[in-house]
Amino acid sequence: MIQDLWLVGIGTGSEAHLTLEGRQALQDARVILVPHKGAGKDDLAELRYRIIQATGTQARIVTFDYPVRDPALPYLARVEAWHDEIARRWVTALAGAEGPVALLVWGDPSLYDSTLRIARRLDPVPRLRVVPGITAIQALTAAHAIPLNTVNGPIKITTGRQLRDHGWPEGSETLVVMLDGEASFQQLDPKGLHIWWGAYLGAPEQILIEGPLSQVTQKIIETRAAARETQGWIMDTYLLRSTD
C-alpha cells in the first residue's frame, strides 16, 4: 500500500530543469518509481536515471513496464483503460515498499499530464505531494527568447488532437500546441501565422525552428521525422501566433 506519493516535475529532460525542491524530494524519498517504455525509448529511462544519479539520492529504484494503449477502443475509453492498467502496475511494482515513493514526471504534473489522475485511482489514495517543474511551454519560450503573450493578449493551450478536429480556435491570437504527434499545424491555412517550434527542449539535442508557417512547415516536418528516426523518440511543442 502506497501511503506517500511524491510527483516531482523534472522539466523536459535537462538535469538543470530540476528545481531545488525537486532535488531535495528525490534525496528524501525512500523509493523512486521509474517506468520503462519499451524498445526504442531506452533514452527516456536513461534521462530519468541521469537526473536521479545527479541528486546523490540513496533511494531504492523500482521499475515497471509501461502498458500500451488498446487501439481498438474509442479514444476516451482507451485512455481510461490505460490509466487503470498503469495504476495496477504501480501497485504491483511497489508491493512491500516503504515510502515515501517519488515518481519523476516530465514537465510539470499539472499540465497535460495524467499522473495525478492515475494516483487517485489507487485504493486508498495516497497522501500526494506535487513538486512543480519547468513546463515545455516555459522551455520553448525561453529557448526562442520570446514572450508567451502579446501585450495584454490571451493565450490558449491545446493539443494536436484538438487542432486537427476543430482547427484554429475562433478569436485566438496565441496558441500553444502540445501532444501533437502528427504535425497538425500543416492542416491550417498558414496565411498570417508565425510558428516557434522546438524539440528535445533543454537537452543537448535541442532543435529550434521559427518563421512564417507558410515558409517553415515542410522544414519542421522533415526535421522532426529525421530526429525521430535518429533518436527513436521525440518530444516537441510549438507556439503559433496570428500576425494579422
Model pLDDT, residue 132:
95
- The mean pLDDT of 188-201, rounded to a whole number, is 96
Rounded CA gap, 36 and 65, in Å? 5
Specify the 3-state DSSP secondary structure of 224: helix
- Tell me: the pLDDT tens digits for 6-27? 999 999 878 888 999 999 999 9
Model pLDDT, residue 122:
94
Architecture category of domain 4-134 in CATH: 3-Layer(aba) Sandwich (3.40)
- The mean pLDDT of 91-101, rounded to a whole number, is 90
Read off the C-alpha cell for 93.
511494482
Read off the C-alpha cell for 91.
501497485
Locate the domains of the chain by residue range.
4-134, 137-242
CATH number of 137-242: 3.30.950.10
Rounded CA gap, 105 and 115, in Å? 8
Quote the pTM value: 0.90
**pLDDT interval class at 42 (50, 70, 90):** low
